[in-house]
């Protein structure tokens, strides 16, 4: 998506997506390939960047692509029609996304293209453009959308409701355990290796009360961690969860940070890697998500002085042991 990303895919959005620079897109592409090798064999996979061919299109090429569609076809799309009805802006460049993704199918001469159900319009655009170029139209396979950890919106890194497939096992397990109960079925069907019969049995046991939602969720969390990290890591993540959240004990393998002299809590959180920035650290404190030795930190101006050892906790899953230097 190094070419289409310059536009921003509007398929799942009720407003225009921010446009990214080529440098940002190349960096993002690297993170995608790093993650996908957990699923695909790099020796059997070819990675292509659509800027290779999209950047070479001329104005004449783009006009010819656009001549295959009407404005009415685009406005009939659910997200565009909602914005149009509300009087919200629909930017002209957003229409180009489907054209460019459709042209990907021509450039690669695809046989099959897969995507979420929200991508159906773009996939069908590919079929139409392939026909215009005299090619056999691709087969389109769409899959249901996986909801994020909030249980309602589609999983998205920009929304912050995601579970990264390259995240540490304990973090992955903990995020699955934070799912609302009603979202479990979505994960049963889309993420696990379970058969339809196994899923039906689990859902029946949940409905009858034979299986507690917490136990079903622990089974789900173990399964997902096992897929991406292996059985041993899944066992360790489950043991970590039981220690920290069920027994309310501190994890034995906390990272450590040596602290010399008094230090502001905001600076300490960024040094410890518990916040990406000072502003993020301040928000976490103001939201009540920071504890020092079990006591909630309420003041962003708090000075921390460690005389021996202390434990800094952010949220429910992140701990750092502070050691006096």
122 domain residue, yes or no: yes
288 domain residue, yes or no: yes
Whether residue 182 is found in the same domain as residue 98: no
Q: Band of the pLDDT at 1, cuts 50, 70, 90?
A: confident
pLDDT at 65: 95
308 domain residue, yes or no: yes
pLDDT at 249: 66
Average pLDDT of the residues in 197-220: 95
Whether residue 11 is found in the same domain as residue 116: yes
pLDDT at 31: 81
Which CATH number goes with the domain that contains 21?
A: 3.40.50.620
154 domain residue, yes or no: no
What mean pLDDT, rounded, does the chain reach? 89
Token digits of residue 133: 């170029």
Residues 306, 324: contact at Cβ < 8 Å?
yes
Token digits of residue 97: 């996304």
Please give the biggest Cα pair distance in the chain: 76
Average pLDDT of the residues in 26-30: 81
Whether residue 108 is found in the same domain as residue 231: no
Give 318's contacts (C-beta < 8 A, 6+ positions apart). 274
Average pLDDT of the residues in 97-108: 94
157 domain residue, yes or no: no
Average pLDDT of the residues in 100-118: 94
pLDDT at 20: 73
How far is CA 34 from each of CA 30, 39, 91, 164, 167, rounded to the nearest angstrom?
A: 6, 10, 33, 11, 12
pLDDT at 5: 75
Whether residue 229 is found in the same domain as residue 306: no
Give 306's contacts (C-beta < 8 A, 6+ positions apart). 259, 322, 323, 324
Q: Band of the pLDDT at 135, cuts 50, 70, 90?
A: very high
- Residue 80: exposure state from Cβ atoms within 10 A (0-12, 13-18, ≥19): buried
The tally of domains found in the chain comes to: 3
Residue 255 phi, psi dihedral angles, 5° rounding: -65, 155
Radius of gyration, CA atoms only, the chain: 24
Q: Band of the pLDDT at 169, cuts 50, 70, 90?
A: very high
Distance CA 92, CA 7 (A): 10
Residues 108, 48: contact at Cβ < 8 Å?
yes
Lowest mean pLDDT segment, chosen from 57-66, 114-123, 236-245, 273-282 = 236-245
Q: Band of the pLDDT at 198, cuts 50, 70, 90?
A: very high
Whether residue 106 is found in the same domain as residue 218: no
Whether residue 48 is found in the same domain as residue 136: yes
Average pLDDT of the residues in 133-161: 91
8 domain residue, yes or no: yes
Comparing 23 with 196, which gets the higher pLDDT?
Answer: 196
Which CATH number goes with the domain that contains 189?
A: 1.10.240.10
Q: Which of 101, 128, 143 is the last residue of a domain?
A: 143
Whether residue 42 is found in the same domain as residue 118: yes
Q: Band of the pLDDT at 138, cuts 50, 70, 90?
A: very high
Give 291's contacts (C-beta < 8 A, 6+ positions apart). 297, 312, 313, 314
Whether residue 99 is found in the same domain as residue 137: yes
Distance CA 159, CA 114 (A): 23
Residues 12, 154: contact at Cβ < 8 Å?
yes
pLDDT at 30: 82
Percent of the chain's residues with pLDDT above 70: 94
Distance CA 22, CA 32 (A): 15
Q: Which of 246, 222, 216, 217 is nearest to 234 (CA)?
A: 222
Residue 28, pLDDT above cutoff 70: yes
Whether residue 123 is found in the same domain as residue 178: no
Q: Which of 102, 125, 143 is the last residue of a domain?
A: 143
DSSP secondary structure of 82-103: HHHHHT----HHHHHHHHHHHH
Whether residue 191 is found in the same domain as residue 271: no
29 domain residue, yes or no: yes
Give the structural domain span for 123. 4-143
Q: Which of 125, 143, 161 is the last residue of a domain?
A: 143
> Does the pTM exceed 0.85?
no
β-bridge mates for residue 256, sequence order: 321
Average pLDDT of the residues in 154-159: 82
How far is CA 300 from each of CA 243, 260, 269, 292, 306, rounded to the nearest angstrom?
A: 29, 19, 11, 13, 17
pLDDT at 10: 59
Whether residue 213 is found in the same domain as residue 105: no
Distance CA 230, CA 207 (A): 30
Distance CA 69, CA 101 (A): 14
Residue 246, pLDDT above cutoff 80: no
Residue 23, pLDDT above cutoff 90: no
Residue 284 phi, psi dihedral angles, 5° rounding: -60, -40
Which CATH number goes with the domain that contains 266?
A: 3.10.290.10
79 domain residue, yes or no: yes
Residues 70, 91: contact at Cβ < 8 Å?
no
Give 24's contacts (C-beta < 8 A, 6+ positions apart). none
Whether residue 83 is found in the same domain as residue 199: no
- Using DSSP, state whether 163 is helix, strand or coil: coil
Q: Band of the pLDDT at 11, cuts 50, 70, 90?
A: low
């Amino acid at each position: 998506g190094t070419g289409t990303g310059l536009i921003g895919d509007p398929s799942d959005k009720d407003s225009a997506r921010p446009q990214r620079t080529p440098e940002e897109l190349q960096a993002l592409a690297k993170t995608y390939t790093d993650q996908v090798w957990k699923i695909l064999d790099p020796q059997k996979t070819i990675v292509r960047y659509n800027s290779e061919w999209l950047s070479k299109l001329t104005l004449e090429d783009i006009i010819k692509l656009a001549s295959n569609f009407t404005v009415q076809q685009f406005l009939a799309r659910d997200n565009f029609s909602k914005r149009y009805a509300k009087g919200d802006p629909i930017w002209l460049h957003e229409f180009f996304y489907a054209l460019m993704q459709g042209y990907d199918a021509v450039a690669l001469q695809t046989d099959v293209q897969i995507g979420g159900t929200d991508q159906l319009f773009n996939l069908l655009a590919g079929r139409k453009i392939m026909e215009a170029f005299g090619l056999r139209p691709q087969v389109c396979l769409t899959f249901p959308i996986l909801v994020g950890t909030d249980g309602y919106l589609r999983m998205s890194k920009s929304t912050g409701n995601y579970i990264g497939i390259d995240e540490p096992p304990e973090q992955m397990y903990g995020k699955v355990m934070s799912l609302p109960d009603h979202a479990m079925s979505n994960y049963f069907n889309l993420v696990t290796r379970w058969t339809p019969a196994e899923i039906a049995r689990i859902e029946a046991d949940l409905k009858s009360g034979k299986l507690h939602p917490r136990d079903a969720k622990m089974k789900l969390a173990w399964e997902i961690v096992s897929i991406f990290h292996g059985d041993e890591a899944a066992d360790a993540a489950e043991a970590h969860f039981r220690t920290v959240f069920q027994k309310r004990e501190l994890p034995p393998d906390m990272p450590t940070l040596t602290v010399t002299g008094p230090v502001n809590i905001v600076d300490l959180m960024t040094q410890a890697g518990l916040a990406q920035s000072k502003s993020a650290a301040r928000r976490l404190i103001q939201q009540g998500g920071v504890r020092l030795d079990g006591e909630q930190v309420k003041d962003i101006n708090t000075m921390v002085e460690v005389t021996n050892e202390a434990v800094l906790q952010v949220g429910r899953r992140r701990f750092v042991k502070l050691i006096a230097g």
